[in-house]
């Protein structure tokens, strides 16, 4: 699905869910008139007047004026979303990319491809192997992926280099780790980790989290193996 879950490539300051996790609806297109906008780090909130009434939307940071007509594409509808940067809870909000003829005028140059793109697009490489973490639950990237069936729902320690980082997507930081183990041919060289801790590209870190398998985040984003609820240390 082209550019689906575009919000995943935005740099969000801070946000969280209010109450239950948000429900997501299928992607689609929405057109409307901009009534109000609010900029925060990396993206813009738009209050829109649509054929179905008023709604709020979040898109990549853009320059737009009240009264402008916009088209939202790859729309993901979420509920009970709390923006800590705005100190506001949105009962319903649309996460989307700007499309239509106005896109070139109001869309930033940021790549709006979904952040969960293939690991082959990792932004930083591993020049030398990273030393394996020490401890009873320590594994390499390749071992964690290869032994995922037996490690399912168990805590592990994995040390690796941050090769791709997408902060604060759906309340989590999305971190891709590599340590020189495994192979790109069978996708055993790159491990996805989610955490509330922040990192930087190129950091070598140790993560302590729980192995989950076959996680479906909706909209076609399914991961065979990842580490969640992770704490990150140098």
Domain containing 165 equals 119-233
| Whether residue 228 sits in one domain with residue 127 | yes
Q: What average pLDDT does the chain have? A: 76
| Whether residue 196 sits in one domain with residue 90 | no
Q: Quote the number of domains for the chain.
A: 2
CB atoms under 10 Å from CB of 40, counted, come to 19
Residue-level pLDDT at 221? 63
CB 72 within 8 A of CB 50: no
Task: Kindly state whether residue 111 falls inside one of the protein's structural domains.
Answer: no
CATH number at residue 181: 2.40.50.140
Segment 194-213 mean pLDDT: 94
Residue-level pLDDT at 228? 94
Task: Kindly state whether residue 217 falls inside one of the protein's structural domains.
Answer: yes
Task: Kindly state whether residue 51 falls inside one of the protein's structural domains.
Answer: yes
Residue-level pLDDT at 130? 95
| Whether residue 160 sits in one domain with residue 99 | no
Domain C-terminal end among 54, 71, 106: 106
| Whether residue 150 sits in one domain with residue 82 | no
| Whether residue 146 sits in one domain with residue 95 | no
- In the chain, pLDDT over 70 holds for what percent of residues? 74
Tokens of 210: 């729980």
Residue 173: pLDDT over 90: no
Closest CA relative to residue 192, chosen from 89, 116, 137: 116
Domain C-terminal end among 56, 75, 106: 106
Task: Kindly state whether residue 223 falls inside one of the protein's structural domains.
Answer: yes
| Buried/exposed code over 18-28 (b: 16+ C-beta within 10 A; e: otherwise) | eeeebebeebe
Task: Kindly state whether residue 113 falls inside one of the protein's structural domains.
Answer: no
Q: Cα separation of 223 and 216, whole Å?
A: 7
| Whether residue 141 sits in one domain with residue 85 | no
Higher pLDDT, 231 or 113: 231
Residue 229: pLDDT over 70: yes
Segment 132-151 mean pLDDT: 96
Task: Kindly state whether residue 112 falls inside one of the protein's structural domains.
Answer: no
Residue-level pLDDT at 188? 94
CB 212 within 8 A of CB 230: no
Higher pLDDT, 75 or 180: 180
Tokens of 107: 């869309």
Q: Provide the pLDDT confidence category of residue 131 given band limits of 50, 70 and 90.
A: very high
> Which residues contact residue 202 at a Cβ distance below 8 angstroms, ignoring those fewer than 6 apart?
124, 161, 162
Q: Provide the pLDDT confidence category of residue 113 given band limits of 50, 70 and 90.
A: very low
| Whether residue 132 sits in one domain with residue 61 | no
Residue-level pLDDT at 28? 62
CA–CA distances in Å: residue 9 to residues 117, 127, 176, 209: 10, 26, 14, 24
Task: Kindly state whether residue 1 falls inside one of the protein's structural domains.
Answer: no
Task: Kindly state whether residue 114 falls inside one of the protein's structural domains.
Answer: no
| Whether residue 57 sits in one domain with residue 141 | no
| Whether residue 128 sits in one domain with residue 82 | no
| Whether residue 204 sits in one domain with residue 166 | yes
Q: Cα separation of 175 and 212, whole Å?
A: 15
Residue 203: pLDDT over 90: yes
| Whether residue 190 sits in one domain with residue 93 | no
CATH number at residue 36: 2.40.50
Domain C-terminal end among 71, 106, 141: 106
| Whether residue 155 sits in one domain with residue 95 | no
Segment 17-25 mean pLDDT: 38
Residue-level pLDDT at 78? 74
């Amino acid at each position: 699905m082209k550019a689906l879950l575009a919000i995943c490539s935005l740099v969000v300051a801070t946000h969280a869910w209010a109450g239950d996790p948000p429900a997501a609806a299928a992607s689609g297109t929405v057109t409307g008139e901009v009534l109000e906008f609010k900029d925060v780090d990396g993206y813009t909130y738009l209050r829109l007047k649509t054929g179905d009434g008023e709604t709020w939307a979040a898109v990549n940071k853009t320059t737009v004026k009240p009264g402008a007509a916009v088209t939202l594409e790859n729309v993901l509808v979420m509920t009970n979303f709390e923006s800590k940067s705005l100190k506001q809870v949105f009962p319903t909000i649309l996460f989307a990319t700007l499309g239509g003829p106005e896109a070139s005028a109001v869309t930033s140059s940021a790549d709006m491809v979904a952040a969960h793109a293939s690991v082959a697009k990792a932004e930083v490489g591993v020049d030398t192997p990273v030393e394996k973490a020490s401890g009873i639950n320590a594994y390499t990237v390749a071992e964690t992926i290869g032994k995922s069936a037996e490690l399912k729902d168990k805590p592990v320690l994995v040390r690796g280099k941050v090769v791709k980082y997408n902060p604060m997507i759906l309340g989590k930081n999305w971190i891709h780790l590599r340590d020189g183990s495994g192979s790109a041919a069978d996708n055993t060289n790159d491990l996805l980790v989610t955490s509330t801790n922040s990192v930087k590209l190129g950091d070598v870190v140790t993560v302590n989290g729980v192995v989950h398998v076959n996680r479906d985040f909706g909209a076609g984003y399914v991961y065979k193996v990842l580490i969640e609820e992770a704490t990150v240390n140098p």
